[in-house]
Amino acid sequence: MLEQDPVLMSRLLTGLTLGFHIIFATLGVGIPLMISIAEFIGIRKKDPHYLLLARRWARGFSITVAIGVVTGTAIGLQLSLLWPNFMRLAGNVIALPLFMEVFAFFFEAIFLSIYFLTWDRFKNPYIHWLISLPVVIGAGMSAVFITTVNGFMNTPEGFAMENGKFAAVNPIAAMLNTATPTKVFHVLSTAYLTAAAILVAITAFMILKKKATDYHKKALKLTVTLVAIFGILSALAGDFSAKFLAEHQPEKLAAAEWHFETEEGADLILFGWLNEAGEVIGEIRFPKFLSFLAFGDFNSEVIGLEEFPEDEIPPLIVHYLFDFMVLIGFALIGVALLYLIMSRFKRFNEHNKGMLWLLVLSGPLAMLAIEFGWFYAELGRQPWILRGYMKVEEAATSSPYVGLMLILFLGLYIVLGILCIVTLRKMFRNNPAEFELEKKYPKSEKSLEEGEVL
């Protein structure tokens, strides 16, 4: 049974790999910035709590990077094994960004090693902090280069088509395709948002489990503030993305909003379901908001799915993926702002159980939004693997053994996931922050209380 449909099996295996890899790729992009910010604040304020935050986050980050390398390698392998026809057609176009993505990773890895090995080695602590900046840049550039490949698959540019092959290839133009700016902005802002939300969830859970120490209070305040900042940036990136889709991929936006007929003053549809006649029922409507989302004008015309051939319409399930992604994004902003407002007024206890549980939920919900967003990005391009040039069915392998590969990779990801959780637990469970703070900075609490310079 598994060997009968290699196209379906290839889709499932690619989806499985991307779904697993995106967890570690997102943390790999976002966590270095969190580490750098914490260390900078610690040095500037001469506060050992923030310095310890940077140390502990860096330690945990090393594990996620190691697993991200394995899953990233799997994606590169699967591109050639599962989608050979796509690589035959577009390989010479996407080779440069793929190479640059690998280069950016090695650049990051080199400076990450130096960063780990040079704690407390410099008289001027800012020198060590400066080493974190190439790590942040390398992580971000890895995301940028791989995102240009995805952008190219959505808006192929930078070549001429001759005899069914790409000719006169301009790799820079292909990388800087029309989709790249909005996609890069969206990927980076949501990665930073999600990394901050994961750290918020861990800290809030520790406060629930133990008590709100100064270390945990500072960690929570910092990470929640970053969630609010990057949440707002992500919302702005989402707005730019919607306007890009309206102009360049209208079928993708129309599928996300179940917008079937071209009309002016189009409504924004939230949830609902389709009856047997294909009509939307049980939905929440926001009059004319889709037109505003698409073009910044409540009366603008939005193209409907009726304008496209039936075999080029994306699967309509993307509507729910889009809705959940957007709702979670706004929920994260709301929870972060609520915490920050409560923290400004003494009559409120921002560390009450209800608030803390909302913050704990922020982490998994943020990662879920990343999953929804990436699956919307990929499913919303269907049936194309390279929009306008090659469909998924044309790109896939005809090998009957993809089903076996699916089982093997599923086993690999289960093992990697378990190893990651077990290793992180052993790394921090018997080494609580309070103990490590006292060991590394034995006079820190006393100094902070008396206002001494450390």
Q: Which residues contact 217 (CB under 8 A, 6 or more apart)?
A: 207, 351
pLDDT tens track for 188-213: 999 999 999 999 999 998 888 877 77
- Whether the pLDDT of residue 394 is over 80: the answer is yes
Judge whether 329 and 276 are in contact, CB under 8 Å: no
Please, is 41 exposed, middle or buried when counting C-beta atoms within 10 Å of its C-beta (0-12, 13-18, 19+)?
middle
- Whether the pLDDT of residue 231 is over 80: the answer is yes
Q: Which region holds residue 164: left if phi is over 0, alpha if psi is between -120 and 50, else beta? A: left
Looking at every residue in the chain, the average pLDDT score rounds to: 86
Please, is 451 exposed, middle or buried when counting C-beta atoms within 10 Å of its C-beta (0-12, 13-18, 19+)?
exposed
List the single range of 39-48, 434-443, 444-453 with lowest mean pLDDT: 444-453
CA dihedral (94, 98, 99, 104) in degrees, to 10, reads 140
- Whether the pLDDT of residue 395 is over 90: the answer is no
Span 13-33, mean pLDDT? 90
- Tokens coding 334: 């709301």
pLDDT of residue 222: 93
Span 82-90, mean pLDDT? 87
Share of the chain above pLDDT 70, in %: 93
List the single range of 11-25, 319-333, 343-357 with lowest mean pLDDT: 343-357
290/312 Cα distance (integer angstroms): 22
In this prediction the pTM is 0.88
pLDDT of residue 311: 86
Judge whether 13 and 64 are in contact, CB under 8 Å: no
Judge whether 385 and 392 are in contact, CB under 8 Å: yes
- Whether the pLDDT of residue 161 is over 50: the answer is yes
